[in-house]
Amino acid sequence: FTLEQDWTPEGQAAFKAGDLVAFDVDAFLENRALPPVSLVFRPDATQAVDGVAVAKGAALLAISENVVGKVLRLEPTEAGWTTSAIDLPGSGQVGIAFADEDETAVFLNYEDFLTPDSLLNYDINTGAVTTLKSLPAKFDTAGLKVEQFFSTSKDGTKVPYFLVHRADIKLDGTTPTLLYGYGGFQ
């Protein structure tokens, strides 16, 4: 589960708001005493937990990192939890649409500046990500490129932004530009 505020379970390590933590639910249900709680994932200052799901063989974590969606595969080991990134088509937004503890197939919703809203299949056993279905493209993306950059505000905050442009464009300040902004994150 994820924490909305800092938490220090009695006699255990302290956890921070935003942490993803785990404990043995069966042990808790058996005697109603809180078993050892382990840290699964602690987001850094550029990350936020978007969702968690369990499939047969692994847990999955959707995060936003510098406003780019990522899905991480989580697995417990003797030394603690490990995370490995799932390969996605680009640097867009992603969400876990379906996962079930009895199924090895996971469905992900994915889209980016050049990829229409798509339903992807992630196979737990092979790690393969394939597109199952997609909305039709609204424009030709051939020769287009997406780049992420950061601008530093007066208070030192690094603000991410994206350039979507033809790959062969000259970045000399003469290109007409459409600016769009948004915000408001937890």
Place of tokens 């199924």: 103
The candidate with the shortest Cα–Cα distance to 97, out of 64, 143, 50, 57, is: 50
Is the pLDDT assigned to residue 186 strictly greater than 80? no
pLDDT of residue 106: 96
pLDDT of residue 12: 94
Is the pLDDT assigned to residue 172 strictly greater than 60? yes
The dihedral of CA 25, 26, 29, 30: what is its sign? negative
Express each pLDDT in 63-116 by its tens digit.
999 999 999 999 988 888 999 999 999 899 999 999 999 999 999 999 999 999
DSSP 15: B
Tell me what the mean pLDDT of segment 125-141 comes to.
Answer: 95
- 87's enclosing H/E stretch is none
Is the pLDDT assigned to residue 185 strictly greater than 60? no
Burial class (CB in 10 A: 0-12, 13-18, 19+), 54: middle
61 neighbors 83 (Cβ within 8 angstroms) = yes
Place of tokens 């469905």: 107
Is the pLDDT assigned to residue 6 strictly greater than 70? yes
Tell me what the mean pLDDT of segment 117-121 comes to.
Answer: 97
Residues with Cβ within 8 Å of 14's Cβ and at least 6 positions away in sequence, in order, are: 6, 7, 8
pLDDT of residue 133: 97
pTM: 0.86
Express each pLDDT in 12-51 by its tens digit.
999 999 999 999 999 999 999 999 999 999 999 899 999 9
The dihedral of CA 42, 156, 184, 161: what is its sign? negative
Least confident of 9-13, 110-114, 178-182: 178-182
Is the pLDDT assigned to residue 138 strictly greater than 60? yes
Place of tokens 């942490």: 19
